Amino acid sequence: MPGRADPEPVAGSLLAHLEPADRRLLLDRGTPRTFPADEVVLRQGDPTDHVLVLVSGWVRVDAVTRDGGELLVAFRGPGDVLGDLAALRERTQAPTVRTATVRTLTAITAVQLRRERFVELLETRPSITLGLARQMASRLVQAETARTDTATLDVNRRVAVYLARLLPAHGVRTPEGVVLALPLTQQDIAHSIGASLRAVARAISLLRDRGIVEPPARGRILVTRPEVLTAFLGDPPNGT
């Protein structure tokens, strides 16, 4: 927000794709909001009347599928806009509702824009519209990559690849290795990669036996050999 040293937007987010003038314009059009950790800020099934532009902090996006299953869709951070797809869908007689629930992982600051004001900005400011399109493209690439992983990789490697992809944005280096600074359980990983909890537990045990990770403690995973974990993003190391 203006006058504050806010975190840099994460790669692929809306604010990361905007010039400073467009960032200021977007943030100035909304109302500053703060939320504590572990609070639902958008709820699946609720009517849509606003979007949130995340300025600082992290959230998780979860959805309940048609068959009642749970899916951890993504983590979102500084610069991401939340609720944009629901806000952009054409309204009919029935109200447009949100398709996912967003819960804070940390305390966050955000700017809330009413749906009408957000749409008006997109209609009158092509550079912001292009930035939003690029954010959507980044998310589509992430989703397509996840689908490809599910179709082509076994569970052991899917777990390794999933953790490796979290390292750049969420890894905090410590004397013991790199800690993933996100509250992440084995069930969360299972929901994210489309695997059973038992299969994920076996994969984590395998990585632990090889000295690559330590299982979640207080919701944090310690990656003791990050260079080995990131090797799974290319050709699998020998023996996998």
> Which domains does the chain possess?
14-147 (2.60.120.10), 154-232 (1.10.10.10)
- Tens of pLDDT, residues 52-86: 999 999 999 999 988 888 889 999 999 999 999 88
Residue 218 has pLDDT above 70, yes or no: no
- Other CB atoms closer than 10 Å to residue 188's CB: what's the count? 19
How many whole angstroms separate alpha carbon 174 and alpha carbon 131? 35
Beta bridge partners of 52: 82, 112
Residue 204 has pLDDT above 50, yes or no: yes
Which residues neighbour 105 within 8 Å (Cβ) at sequence distance 6 or greater? 37, 38, 57, 58, 59, 60, 75, 182, 183
Greatest Cα pair distance in the chain: 58
* Helical ranges in 29-185 per DSSP H: 84-88, 115-124, 126-152, 155-170
In this structure, are residues 118 and 51 in contact, taking their beta carbons and an 8 Å threshold? yes
Please give the pLDDT value at position 2.
Answer: 46
Model confidence, pTM? 0.84
- Other CB atoms closer than 10 Å to residue 167's CB: what's the count? 16
In this structure, are residues 125 and 23 in contact, taking their beta carbons and an 8 Å threshold? no
Beta bridge partners of 177: 174
- Tens of pLDDT, residues 17-47: 999 999 999 999 999 999 999 999 999 999 8
Mean pLDDT of 177-196: 90
- Other CB atoms closer than 10 Å to residue 83's CB: what's the count? 24
Please choose, from the candidates 156, 167, 163, the residue with its C-alpha nearest in 3D space to the C-alpha of residue 200.
156
Terminus-to-terminus CA distance in the chain, angstroms?
Answer: 47
How many whole angstroms separate alpha carbon 46 and alpha carbon 49? 9
Residue 4 has pLDDT above 70, yes or no: no
Please choose, from the candidates 83, 80, 114, the residue with its C-alpha nearest in 3D space to the C-alpha of residue 7.
80
In this structure, are residues 73 and 63 in contact, taking their beta carbons and an 8 Å threshold? yes
Confidence of residue 236 (pLDDT cuts 50, 70, 90): very low
